[in-house]
Amino acid sequence: MSTAEQAYQDIVKFIEENKLENALSALLSYAGQYSPDKVAAVRMRRSDWKALEEEALLLGEPATIRERRSALKLQLFRLADAIRNDASSQGAAPSSPASGGLHPTVAPPYSTPRGEGPVKIFLAYAPDPDDRAGGEELRKSLALLLHLKRVEVFDQQKSPAGNRQAALARALSESEIILLLLSSNFLSGLECLGVQQDAYELYLQNRAAVIPVLYNPCEWKELDIGRLQALPRNGRFITQWENDDEAYAKISREISELAKGIRERLDYGPASAPLGGGGRREEGASPKTEERAENQPKPAYDTAELLGLFRKGDPGALIRKLFTIASGNTQLFDQVLLLEQRWKEVDEDEKHHTASVESITIRKNQLNQSLLRLIREMEG
């Protein structure tokens, strides 16, 4: 049995035996050796696992925790299978992961380096014919920007020949705007989900703007990018418009405006490790401003009452209490504001039955995870 195959079998055994910490450590090493572009996805799953274990300590083992642990195990099995396929296609020869696992050595995807020349756009969509048509229409809507050389587009489904995964990873790492054309086909594709996870990682590092583009109806709020502003802004999927040309025109105008000032907002320094805490540099904040903020003493909060509200399962009351505490702390207030928006959305969907029970359950779990993570951060 080859070294790569033995590593795969060990990971499978760890998952089956519910030794998820061992499985994640082994999976991270496995991805680093044979599939560097999937390292970010493994790190995201490890973050999910840690948050899940924290909730289990507080809440015990209710059905929702068991369901989420089962879902996580399924994701780990799929990641292991995908890395195994990459190892097989390479003849099980280990890859040389570059900085952060996002920069394999391949031909440059754009005509100029990142931060120079046209703004770099990565266009991602599923390979299915309907999604290809949507991707082509979205690209056409950017025709004027392309003609004026204000933007340059890398198309996921038209990537150059050779090591496809490495080419996609290199293009993602050099992109400044990432467009994700969302549909049920996108959500069911392992490669597309991997692109989404890597894109979200770059968003967290403030290295790229990530825009979900609503193409065909799907439960996209369950993705890592579920909290981001989508286009069209009215939340209606492109295929639901009477005139889809109007939808594409609105999207292209938004992208044009974003491209004008994108380089004043992004971090063009060396790629950093995942932020873990989910924070980003505030728009307009300079490194010196951040340094001063880091040197200031972090406020200490008494979180006993917050944890009590969390255990009661009343996110509305918890968020109201957080707003009271956040008074005078702009950064904390903004975080609570985002959580309130997510809570209102899921509450409305539950009241009016405008989303599936499964979707509501998953989104509630994700909201609880975010609330608990914020409380832990407030503890210092």
Instruction: Strand 177-182: give its sheet, edge to edge.
Output: 151-155, 119-124, 177-182, 209-214
Domains of the chain (ranges plus CATH)?
A: 3-97 (no CATH), 119-264 (3.40.50.10140), 293-379 (no CATH)
β-strand 151-155 against 177-182: which pairing, if any?
Answer: unpaired
User: What letter would DSSP give residue 231?
Assistant: B
Distance CA 211, CA 220 (A): 12
Say if CB 79 and CB 193 are below 8 A apart.
Answer: no
Q: d(Cα 247, Cα 238) in Å, to the nearest integer? A: 6
Residue type, 165: Q
pTM score over 0.85: no
pLDDT tens string for the chain (380 positions)? 578 888 888 898 888 888 888 888 888 888 888 888 788 788 878 877 887 787 777 777 667 777 777 778 878 888 888 888 888 876 655 544 443 444 444 578 899 989 999 999 999 999 999 999 999 999 999 999 999 999 999 999 987 656 777 888 889 989 999 999 999 889 888 788 888 888 988 888 888 999 999 999 998 887 878 888 899 988 899 999 999 999 999 999 999 999 998 998 888 876 544 333 333 333 333 344 344 444 455 566 778 888 888 888 888 888 988 888 887 777 788 788 878 878 888 888 788 777 777 677 777 777 887 788 788 788 76
Alpha carbons 278 and 335: distance in angstroms, whole number = 10
Cis amide leading into 118 (omega within 30): no
Give dist(CA 365, CA 311) in Å, integer: 13
252 φ/ψ angles, rounded to the nearest 5 degrees:
-65, -35
Phi-psi map region of 353: left, alpha, beta (phi>0 left; psi -120 to 50 alpha): left
pLDDT confidence of residue 346: 81
CA-atom Rg of the chain in angstroms: 21
